[in-house]
Amino acid sequence: MSDLYEIKPSLGKGLGVFANVDIKQGDVIMEDKARMKIVNYHKWVSEYDIQKVFDPLSPADKKEFPQLHSGTLSQSSTNMRIYSANAFSIGGEDAGIMYFKIARVNHSCMPNSEMPGSDDGTGTTKLHAIQPIRKGEETFHSCLAGKADGSKADRQQHLERVYGFVCGCATCSLTGTELAMSDARRTIYMALNDKRVAAMSELLKPTASPNTSPDREQVASNFLMARMMEAEGWTSALIGDCYFMAVVSLLDQLKRHPFTVLATVKLAHEWVELAFKQIRASRPTGSMELQFTTQGWAYLQAGTPNFAKAKKAIDVLTAQGITTIPPEKFAIQCKDGRFVKFLSQDECFAIVRQGRKDLQSK
């Protein structure tokens, strides 16, 4: 038993993990080291593969393994069913990893904890509280891919087929309009996430075209994914990542013009603040996610031409009580790193049209 939690019977769920003390949002609930790992997990896994990672286990781990939930998938052995029901894929890695303590955390479609997208390089991962957990309350995480895995009907079918239970969490208990809205948000989220994953897979190919997934599409997809999850009541570093990736695509789009649009710079700052808010709420100070976002934001600002000057122009307007950027100050134009003048929206459109004509005439 840990000071923070204990593993004990959970009504209708076998064993579960319960808080021994009040746990704050962002706190680390537990650390757990990977006990078993199979590479190429998403391909066919044989009984031999399972046995090969089972044999090196300590006597204590070999005793604990058969006590874990075995799920309901049709497999050739109990060991294969246990592994299939409890293995995680971390950070998109094509490997099935088993953590014996985290395997005791039961599922909820609206969890109060989550694992990071990668381990710390030593095979150890952490379970973070993404909501305050009161003393005596059970800890839940989501075992669904992509966190918000479609409609209630889709989730229930998957959970019963793979794990052998019908989820009765707060989200699955919704009815009427509330359920319809939740189903719509999660279905939209999954469609956007599937599209984003497919686009990233294409971009990683040696023959990929830079136009495989336009920046404006990535901006919209990531922003909408973040909004859908927030509307569902989530707090998660994953939401922060969606906001941050929307900013990355937003600034990539900005670099293609010979002027700097003030509204785009303002929006980038606002979305980055939302990203940091989500990450700080769900991760402790010094976390990998917080370090990555902090360093990435500094890199983006330094790598975007005239970004600092555009932000200064926005600050001047704000100090004057102007919160909505006027059409005549739509963008700034700089030369050799120095401010030249403000451009109106019409002037910017004229520059873009002229640039297209010049390209066509070549």
Q: How far apart are CA 15 and CA 166, in angstroms?
A: 16
Rounding to the nearest 10 degrees, give the CA dihedral for residues 86, 90, 94, 95: -50
Helices first, then strands: H and E counts in the chain: 11, 12
> What pLDDT is attached to residue 198?
74
The whole-number mean pLDDT for each consecutive block of 10 residues of the chain, a chain of 362 residues, reads 86 91 94 84 73 91 89 75 79 69 93 78 84 96 73 90 88 96 93 79 63 77 94 92 94 88 94 96 88 95 90 90 89 88 92 80 68
- Say what the pTM is: 0.85
> What pLDDT is attached to residue 128?
93
> What pLDDT is attached to residue 48?
84
Q: How far apart are CA 313 and CA 146, in angstroms?
A: 40
Contact criterion met (CB below 8 Å) for 259 and 329 = no
> What pLDDT is attached to residue 50?
84
Per-domain boundaries in the chain: 5-146, 147-209, 214-361
**Domain 5-146 classification at class level:** mainly beta
